Structure 1
């Protein structure tokens, strides 16, 4: 007789597949209309399915009941996601970007990153009772890098297209990719000093600070950092040349071509892991070198495979984090009361990055005004990279045991870093995930309510109010009605107070009205929508047109836009720099 096979494998596949499918049904609504990140939504789902709630996801059982195995699984999963994310981040940057923008990146990765480390460490030292300064420096190093996964909320999608300048998007991608791998020097500076400047008379004291600094310069900077840069550059260049060679001879099919960058990330993560170098930094450098000539990036602009893999990894890992997060330890631990933990989370989000970016923003060309400095300073999220360094540190602390017991001076450090890093990570996911929708709501809701309850005289002198408007006197409903008339081929009505100025189509992004960019190749100065043309004469307007903005559109009869399918879109592509029309195809460099 058939029986239910409720094995862990069947349950996890059912939960993961069902959740991804259900989320996919409303993903556009969540991300493009409500500006909610998939990381926050997946984290909440992970908590709902975890042993603390529905008990569908049981991480400890998958690790055979061993906490060490569970930590090893989480570390390996984090390495995989970071490797893929960072090689894709490197591929998405324009040609020779690191070489062209080295000054701005040097400021972000040098003084700003050091200030973030010291500020966070001092806050931890002040708020955690009995915390040694070296221990605080080690814990602060875990949450210093900005996370490339969570940073995607401000460089992808409709909000980024309408509110974040392209140059700013690029520098955010480059910084979040590079500083993940550069967390090693900050972390091991403190860890080596902890190991070699331990209590008097202990075995760990042999060598002292001289040995600690020798290892830091030789092993951390030489072997871990410099070797990973050289290795990543060599693998990226070799992969680029081999792919050029194979594609020129028609040896590679389209599917293998599209997945090449992702398979390259897997190879680098595996090989760097075997030799003990910095696989995270190597992946980012390899991605940049791999597309140094812009060929692969331009060839894959319209393809959705890379964003699809990116989305699957993001959803999976944040569900896993929601299930494995030590929620109970936040209020039941021996190192930090809950009140101080909450205060630490708030202060870290406010003081870790914002003051330092604001202080030096005039020296970063991509940050052109104060509002952008505040924006970049606030959105420095803590996420996957923090969990990665958390378990790197916990692995290192196991080497400081004496007779199977933790050394006396570090006996509480493993618990402290676990509680602090996990709590700050959860705070960042929630705060940065809700900042944009709450900010939009708080900014536009009072305006909407005031317009709804305050009557305004109409143009004909009557007391009837004007139609509901958003922005500079542009009626949203009138604009949509005009678009529907155009889609049916009907003549446009004479302009009035409620119609868009100059007869240009207007689209709404989060409460702001943005006119479509004019194209030099259009006869009347207005770029028609391809979907409008396809629907002409059918008596309806494609619903996806409403609330959407598509840059880089092709003029009629010139084919589809080369950039219309991208997840991240940079309006100032090489085609524009050469004076070409926005929708003109871009020929890849040889």
Structure 2
């Protein structure tokens, strides 16, 4: 008899496939209409399916222990970062790193260093008093790199195409790709100093030999030499060989289209695996390999209109942020080593001080940032995401090596100075990642809402105004009368256009139109081609009846309030049959006959000659 097989595999695959399918049905609406990032939506979905909510996804049960869960999250993050950074390198034009080395040097040198130091200072000031500055440097180094996955919100899609210049998009991609790998020097400088100088020593934990000299030797030798420089050389060599091999196979028709398109993704998997084997910086090597792979721009142009790479990119983004929503230690935000009343101001201050002031200071040295508005944009959108989680688990793994395992119980005996550092860095980095995903994911939608909401309300809500006209002072320029009837209001639109209410006949010239400016209100649509719209609205236009009512029932005012006298269709309509002029009902007594060729008579015109 058939029975339900509620296994972990079946549940996870069902939830993941169902969510990706449901999100795909409204993905264009979410991303291109409401400007919501897939990272934010997937994170919320992960929270909804997590043990804290629906309990459909139970990561701790799948992993068996917290150590296995941390290792799985670290490897998943490595995989996603590797693929993303190869694709980021492929997106850049030919020889981009060589051509734009000066602005990249400013962003990866002074800006990144000040980001690290300022972030560490804020963390040191707001965390518990027992946190040392070296510990703050460790936490600050984890959140210093900008995340290339979350940066896609401002470099891809409709918003980027309409608002971000292409050169600015490329410099953001290049910086977010390169500084992910360059986070290692900042992190390991602080970790080596903690290992060799941050502890006084006990009988159980003697002080390591070497001191600060040993720490600096390891930092220059292992971190810069083996981890950074070796990864750059290795990534460049692998990218160049891959490019030449693909050229050779394509020229001889040995490779089919499917394998050609997936080549960059398989290259990312190869680099992540081999760099992991030799213990180098796989993140930086992937970005360098992707850029060298398309050094001649051939592969980028060949795959520019193909959707396979963006499809893989989307699947990885949705999966990783769903996983983050499920594994995030939400309870530690309340019951962890850092209280919530310290975490909230920490998140706010880091959004404001981590990156924005330093980009504003040096933006004039970066040609891609044209003015201070773009500097604010680039400075604010420096998100914390997958790269921060990656470095956080690297930190926890390093700290475990400082704490030996006891022989009898296999439990970890923590070194006293780092006993709380692992939990502190976990709580702070996770909280800042969640804050960044939410704030940067909602910034563009809220910004668009703030821009269009007043205009939308002005179009939707009727404008009621009561204006009275006093016959005694109606002849005074700029004065409105106080005892006339209520006048209908002008139509509210997005743009006011100066038009001519003249006749469109053959006898009217451009000079005649220029001398008859009348302020009318447009229909709310931008005149993008620069053409002057017709003064006479179409009978089927939505404003035709309103304009007709305005011109028939109320006077037309010039800017400043002067009343423009109304005129009838016949030039002599205001003159009696005997030749005497009747008083104007709107402008007091006086001649109202029109000048030749004129359809509207202004108060300051000389009187027309009468027969």
TM-score above 0.5, yes or no: yes
Say whether 1:428 aligns with 2:431. Answer: no
Q: Write the distance in 2 (CA, Å) between the matches of 1:463 and 1:256.
A: 69
Deviation string 1:399-456 (CA, Å, 9 cap, x unpaired) is: 1114541111110000100000000000000000000001111122123223433649
The answer as to whether partners of 1:237 and 1:286 remain within 8 angstroms in 2 is yes
Greater Rg over alpha carbons, structure: 2
The answer as to whether partners of 2:141 and 2:187 remain within 8 angstroms in 1 is yes
Say whether 1:9 aligns with 2:9. Answer: yes
User: Where does residue 291 of structure 1 map in the other structure?
Assistant: 294
Greater relative contact order structure (CA < 8 Å, 6+ sep): 1
- Specify the SS of the correspondent of 1:150: coil
Q: Write the distance in 2 (CA, Å) between the matches of 1:185 and 1:77.
A: 22
User: Where does residue 111 of structure 1 map in the other structure?
Assistant: 110
The offset of 1:181, in angstroms, is 0.2
User: Where does residue 253 of structure 1 map in the other structure?
Assistant: 256
Q: Write the distance in 2 (CA, Å) between the matches of 1:194 and 1:503.
A: 64
Say which structure is richer in helix.
1
CA separation of 1:250 and 1:430: change in aligned 2, threshold 3 A: same
Q: Write the distance in 1 (CA, Å) between the matches of 2:91 and 2:528.
A: 36
Q: Which runs of 4+ in 1 moved over 2 A?
A: 198-205, 450-457, 462-466, 468-474, 496-505
Structure 2: where are the runs of 5+ without partners?
407-411, 466-486, 499-520, 532-611
CA separation of 1:255 and 1:128: change in aligned 2, threshold 3 A: same
CA RMSD of aligned residues (A): 1.9
Say whether 1:447 aligns with 2:455. Answer: yes
User: Where does residue 101 of structure 1 map in the other structure?
Assistant: 100
Question: How many residue pairs are counted as aligned between the two chains?
Answer: 477
User: Where does residue 517 of structure 1 map in the other structure?
Assistant: none
Q: 1:414 aligns with which of 422, 431, 438?
A: 422
User: Where does residue 521 of structure 1 map in the other structure?
Assistant: none
The offset of 1:497, in angstroms, is 5.0
User: Where does residue 189 of structure 1 map in the other structure?
Assistant: 189
Structure 1: where are the runs of 5+ without partners?
475-495, 506-590
The offset of 1:206, in angstroms, is 1.2
The answer as to whether partners of 2:196 and 2:209 remain within 8 angstroms in 1 is yes
Deviation string 1:365-422 (CA, Å, 9 cap, x unpaired) is: 1001111000000000000000000000000000111454111111000010000000
CA separation of 1:465 and 1:15: change in aligned 2, threshold 3 A: farther
User: Where does residue 304 of structure 2 map in the other structure?
Assistant: 301
The answer as to whether partners of 2:39 and 2:437 remain within 8 angstroms in 1 is yes
CA separation of 1:212 and 1:472: change in aligned 2, threshold 3 A: farther
The offset of 1:61, in angstroms, is 1.1
Deviation string 1:263-285 (CA, Å, 9 cap, x unpaired) is: 00000000000000000000000
Deviation string 1:82-101 (CA, Å, 9 cap, x unpaired) is: 00000000000000000000
Say whether 1:218 aligns with 2:221. Answer: yes
Q: Write the distance in 2 (CA, Å) between the matches of 1:180 and 1:20.
A: 27
CA separation of 1:293 and 1:471: change in aligned 2, threshold 3 A: farther
The offset of 1:469, in angstroms, is 4.7
The answer as to whether partners of 1:330 and 1:338 remain within 8 angstroms in 2 is yes
Deviation string 1:29-78 (CA, Å, 9 cap, x unpaired) is: 000000000000000000000000000001001102x1000000000000
The answer as to whether partners of 2:235 and 2:288 remain within 8 angstroms in 1 is yes
CA separation of 1:22 and 1:390: change in aligned 2, threshold 3 A: same
Alignment of 1:17-56 (within 5 A): 17-56=17-56
Say whether 1:79 aligns with 2:88. Answer: no
User: Where does residue 67 of structure 1 map in the other structure?
Assistant: 66
